[in-house]
Chain A
Amino acid sequence: MNRHNERYSRLSKMGSIKRSCIFLLSLFCLFLIFGSFNGSDLLGAQLPSGRKANPSENILLVAAASNLRFAMEDIVDEFGKAFQTEIQVAYGSSGSFTAQLMAGAPFDLFFSADEVLPRKLISKGLALEDTLYRYGTGRIVLWVSNGSAIHPEREGMKALLHPSVHKIAMANPRHAPYGAAAVAALKNTGLYESLRARLVFGENISEAAHFVRKGSAEIGILSYAHAVSLPLKDDGRFWPIPATSYPPLNQGAIILQQSRNVPLSKSFINFIIEGLGREIMKGYGYKTQKDSR
């Protein structure tokens, strides 16, 4: 059989419209492939360390507990202005970050919501030994949206027993320290057993805030920093849970062993514990102090 004939019959079988479809589709794919590799991005994304190419290494990759989101955004802005650096922050629950760091996640700094997880990372040899800094002590609050019939600012913890409360949003106590503090506060006031079935858990404190803001939950146990943040402060009312009813949320930061820029990491931490960052942290309701261990 003639090879030329065969090819001809194959092409005619496919029909011109289908052929043009395939042509368009392959054009589209080429466009996507080349469009997405803009400039040095191809090299950058596949550098051994998984970082973008940056000759000066003037860039920090930070893992931060969710309660820090709003304070950290302000701090990064100010720090970037003062030091001409780029700081990229990923937010999540401290427990998830600890698991990711143990699996080799390429962060320079880790701002946890407690001090237990950073110590664990130090003991595993993943963080620099003398770098556990207590950068702030957090607080938890009861938060309801503006239109709610629940009044935590008058009733305190009893507001949780209000008949309109079907769901109480909080962070997952298994891996988020703010969730663990919320459970401790409930246990301390003797409400835990009776309210247990109404608790809904966000992956982290931000997800819990999202639940209660959208009305999926009537009341939430959130961080003070979330309650006074720009998206939430005009939307609702809050009542700080007395600090005596849960173990203090002392938050620790560490510099990780694989950090490529330890001096810059140190100056970022210093900016937060004694520089302008400290004022920003205070503005979001964190208690701050200078001592570092």
Chain B
Amino acid sequence: MNWDAFWLSMKLASITSIILLCIGLPLAYWIARSSWRWKFLIEAVVALPIVLPPTVLGFYLLTAMGSRSFLGRFYQEMTGSPLAFTFGGLVVASIFYSLPFTIQPLSMAFSAVDECLIQNAWVLGRSRWMTFLTVILPLSYRGVITAFILSFAHTVGEFGVVLMVGGNIPGITRTISIDLYDQVQALNDQGASETALFLLVFSFLFLSLVYFIDRKKDRKRVTVQFD
């Protein structure tokens, strides 16, 4: 079990999900509330990473980050080093890759909020911003938690994109899923099965936590009915 790789995955996943939450809250709010005619196009773009093979995303990201593209050159001139094959590059790739897993639970939760409550808040003189903070967000907190956990777990489980953009460099871009792949290639059966088992248990516990949070509310509703 390679703990360096595990902590690298954890660091990548937590940074990615925090950044995604910052991007996701306004974007999901806009998707949930906007009535723009071409909104469906934005929704399709956001959902693309679910459908696209990771290799397609990896190919475009690598091309965009490479020193031959405009963006890659710009970044290199600003910071003095290329973005591909660095931890920063992995964060950028993971943000694209996990975006739908943040946006979809958030926008679903936001659109489930009763329109009357929102309009009441407006009538009572709350600004849009305050209405979002004091009415919409508290009512959709479960969506926020789900979005965070799903994007976190999805980033931990990321493989193809990280392999293409990160290049399996020990200590810098070798995440836990890449490390497992590397152990299989090294014909190290014991190491591979340890890592695989660890990841299985970890994912199970993580998802159990998600469903545990969900379970409480459902159960309460049932008890109220029987009382």
Contact = CB atoms under 8 A, between A and B. Distances in A.
| A and B assemble together | yes
Interface of A: 1, 6, 10, 13-15, 17-18, 21-22, 25, 29, 32-33, 35-38, 45-46, 48-52, 61, 66, 69, 88-92, 100, 102-106, 204, 206-207, 209-210, 213, 229, 231-232
Contact of B184 (A61, A210, A232): A210
Given A22-B145, A103-B66, A229-B187, A36 B85 contact: no
- What 7 A-B pairs have minimum CB-CB distances, sorted nearest first? A50-B86, A36-B11, A104-B82, A231-B187, A206-B185, A103-B66, A48-B81
A104 B67 contact: yes
B79 A104 contact: no
Contacts of B13: 32
Interface in B25-76: 62-63, 65-67, 72
B167 interface: yes
A18 B213 contact: yes
Contacts of B92: none
Nearest to A11: B138
Contact of B167 (A18, A45, A90): A90
B187 A104 contact: no
A35 B8 CA distance: 10
Interface in B78-106: 79-82, 84-88
Contacts of A46: 86-88
A210 B62 contact: no
A15 B216 CA distance: 10
Q: Chain B contact residues (Cβ within 8 angstroms of A): what range? A: 35 or more
Contact of B145 (A25, A36, A51, A61): A25
A16 B197 CA distance: 34
Contacts of B200: none
Nearest to B171: A52
Contacts of B62: 103
Nearest to A21: B213
7 contacts: A14-B138, A15-B216, A66-B185, A69-B186, A90-B168, A106-B85, A206-B186
A105 B145 contact: no
Given A22-B141, A90-B167, A103-B85, 10 more contacts: A1-B124, A14-B141, A18-B141, A25-B145, A32-B13, A50-B172, A103-B84, A104-B65, A106-B86, A231-B189
Q: Max chain A CB contacts within 10 Å: which of B10, B87, B185?
A: B185
Contacts of A103: 62-63, 65-67, 82, 84-85
A64 B161 CA distance: 21
A50 B134 contact: no
A180 to B, nearest CB: 19
Contacts of A61: 169
Interface string B159-185: 000000001111110100000001011
B187 A210 contact: yes
Contact of A50 (B87, B145, B170): B87
A100 B31 CA distance: 37
Contacts of B209: 25
B134 A36 contact: no
A251 to B, nearest CB: 18
A163 B7 CA distance: 48
B66 A35 contact: no
B195 interface: no
B85 A206 contact: no
